[in-house]
Structure 1
Amino acid sequence: MPSKLLFQRTLMVLSLLLIPLVAMQFTDQVDWSFGDFLVMAGLLFSLTMAVAVVRQKVREKTQRIGLIALLLLIFLLIWAELAVGIFGTFLAGS
């Protein structure tokens, strides 16, 4: 993958992480630790890279849409589990 695309994806992930960082300045409802930011950065970066691979390797449009939708669903389920523990695993958040 060209370094320009990698740089763009990294900037995209960092810009998304600015949302909770800014929210923490205005409310006590958002309380992320440094570890939370690292985990979310890893999740977002993994998602963007996986979507890039699917877009590059899968040629059929319906399969591409289905795989990207599956990746998004997996991302959202992991995020929800880490945030509030909807499944009650050892990874469950508060």
Structure 2
Amino acid sequence: MKTNTIRTTYWIIAALLMLSAATANQFSNQFIWTKFDFLVFGIMLLAAGLAIELVLHFAHNPRYRLGLIGTVVVAFLLVWAELAVGIFH
């Protein structure tokens, strides 16, 4: 995959995740996020995006890139799960 395709795909997915959370917050009584929750989620998406940007800039081997991007995604999901339900307690 080309670098620009990866970048564009990530930022579109990040925007869609934020939009889906905002939409669910408007229409569901079971999905209640505060402004702080949206701020934290936005910071997490930004941090993951910047990490992926660094990987794409510095890693030139496609397998190495894939491994590092996978690591960023897994770290993002683990932090998200911990903040949501506290899986590590």
User: What is the TM-score of this pair, normalised by structure 2?
Assistant: 0.80
Q: Which runs of 5+ in 1 are unaligned?
A: 89-94
Q: Does 1:58 align with 2:64?
A: no
Measured on the aligned residues, the alpha-carbon RMSD in Å equals 1.8
Query: Aligned partners of 2:38, 2:80: CA distance in 1, in Å?
Result: 12
Q: Which runs of 5+ in 2 are unaligned?
A: 1-6
Deviation at 1:18, TM superposition (A): 1.7
Partner of 2:40: 39
What is the identity, as a one-letter code, of the residue corresponding to 2:84?
A: A
- Report how many residues are paired: 80
Deviation at 1:16, TM superposition (A): 2.9
What is the identity, as a one-letter code, of the residue corresponding to 1:84?
A: V
Query: Aligned partners of 1:12, 1:45: CA distance in 2, in Å?
Result: 12
Divergent runs of 4+, >6 A: none
Partner of 2:19: 18
Higher relative contact order (CA 8 A, sep 6+): 2
Deviation at 1:56, TM superposition (A): 1.1
Q: Matched residue of 1:59: which SS?
A: coil
- 8 Å CA contact 1:47–1:72 kept in 2: the answer is yes
Deviation at 1:12, TM superposition (A): 6.5
- 8 Å CA contact 1:14–1:41 kept in 2: the answer is no
Q: Matched residue of 2:29: which SS?
A: coil
Q: Which has the higher helix share?
A: 2
User: What is the TM-score of this pair, normalised by structure 1?
Assistant: 0.76
What is the identity, as a one-letter code, of the residue corresponding to 1:57?
A: F
Aligned residues with identical type, % of pairs: 38
